[in-house]
Every structure is written in C-alpha cells, then in structure tokens.
Amino acid sequence: MQTRRLILLLASLSVVLAGAGGHAQEKGSKKKGGGKGGPPGLVKPAMTDTIKLNVYADNWFMLYINGELVAVDSIKFTPHNVVSVDILPEFPMTIAVMAKDNADPKTGLEYGSSIGDGGFCLKLGNDIVTSASWKAKSFFHGPINGDTVNPKVRHEPIPDGWWKVGFDDSQWSKSKEFTEEEVAPKQPFYENDFKGAKFIWTQDVALDNTVIFRTTIEKPGWTKRWNTKPDLDVTGAPLK
C-alpha cells in the first residue's frame, strides 16, 4: 500500500513538473517585443538589404543621399580616416558631397605657409564608385596663382539646397580623376575596400579647397523589398 501511494505521488509530481516546464518553455519561446511589429502585410527592411559605404577624404566631408544627411567626417583634419556606414539604398539615388581640404579661409594656406592638396574617394556597395562622371564645382580657391608670399583667395557663396535631389548642377564641370600617388592617401585607405573607386577633385587639386560633388545613380527595374517608411520628424536637425 505504501509502495502504491509512493508511485502515485511520484506520478502526480511528474505531471506538475512537466506542466511547469512546458509553461516555462512557452514563456521562453516568446521573442523579445512579442506582439509588436505592425499590421499584417508589413514588410520591414533588414540588415541584408543594406549596403556598405566607405569614404576617404583629404581632409573632411559631409555626404547626403537623396537629400538626407547620412555621413559626416568626425575628424576635421588629421589623422586621415575612413568613414564606414551601412546605407539602406533607394534608387534613383542622388549623392551630394561637400569636401574640404585643410586651408586657412583668408589665405588658402595650411600650416601657415604651405599649399595643401585635396582628394575624395567613395565606394558604396559593389558598383557605386567615384569617377570622372561625377559633377564637381569649387567654392573656395586659393592662394590665387599659388602665391604664398602675398596670398589672396576667391570665395563663391555655397548655393542653397546643393544637397537636394532636384538641385540644378547642369552647368557644373565633370570631376577629374587623380592617381593614388598624386593624392598619397594614408594607411586607413588601404585597410578598407575601395576597389574600382577613383580619387576625384576639380581640375585643381592643390588650390581648390572647398568642392561639392554630385551624381545620380539609376537602376532601372529596381524595386524595394520592404513597404515601410520612416515616420521620424528630423526637421530640427541642421542641414549644413
């Protein structure tokens, strides 16, 4: 009789433990944020939809894609660094970049008496790269004629909306490509993927100190895999 009672007691205990374990397993199986995610049919982008952006600038840049600021060089001068970020692409894609060489705004000189030189290189994904097809315009030139004894400069006002998709750059010239030897990038450039990308600037890599680049990338037939759009209001953020 005692043996039978012990067996029944153990059987009852097993049922209780199994139920508790199943309940715990059910709780543990729930994903973080369960019950959230939006209505049926909502397709969100994933990290697999993003593409890598690598940028090297001598000395500084800010970059917009489709009118939105997506990257700013965090180091204004030296050491020369590479900025890498993940981009969620949409095509057609308008890229607008302001790049600056280190130069005194009153003399165009760096280190007090030297003439510097610029250079900009970008790779986005596998096939979007800087080349001579990009538009480029200088807005700060000097020292005029390379005169370091009596240096003078020429400034042109930065146009409103230069980063916008519909900005008219039809009268701008094409960029000029420069070799790695001419730009002499520092080690971080070689530690990142810039295969196929060219160093670009205006025609004068030494005396043009503030340059804006623009290009538009078309991908006929491209469609978004996702159907969401951001609801963020970033109108209070600075644009330039």
**Across 17-26, 40-49, 217-226, least confident range:** 17-26
99-119 per-position pLDDT tens digit:
999 999 999 999 999 999 999
Q: What is the pLDDT of residue 8?
A: 42
Tell me the C-alpha distance between 120 and 118, whole Å: 7
Q: Residue 183: in which H helix or E strand, if any?
A: helix 180-183
Q: How confident is the model at residue 3 (pLDDT cuts 50, 70, 90)?
A: very low
Domain ranges of the chain: 1-32, 47-217
Averaged over 135-149, what is the pLDDT?
Answer: 98
Phi-psi domain of 112 (left: phi exceeds 0; alpha: psi -120 through 50; beta: other): left
Q: Is 44 helix (H, G, I), strand (E, B) or coil?
A: coil
Q: How confident is the model at residue 239 (pLDDT cuts 50, 70, 90)?
A: low
Adjacent-strand bridge partners of 84: 54
Type of residue found at 106: K
Q: What is the pLDDT of residue 38?
A: 79
Asked if CATH classification 2.170.130 holds for the domain at 47-217, the reply, yes or no, is no
162-175 per-position pLDDT tens digit:
999 999 999 999 99
Tokens at 142, concatenated: 């000097």
pTM score above 0.85: no
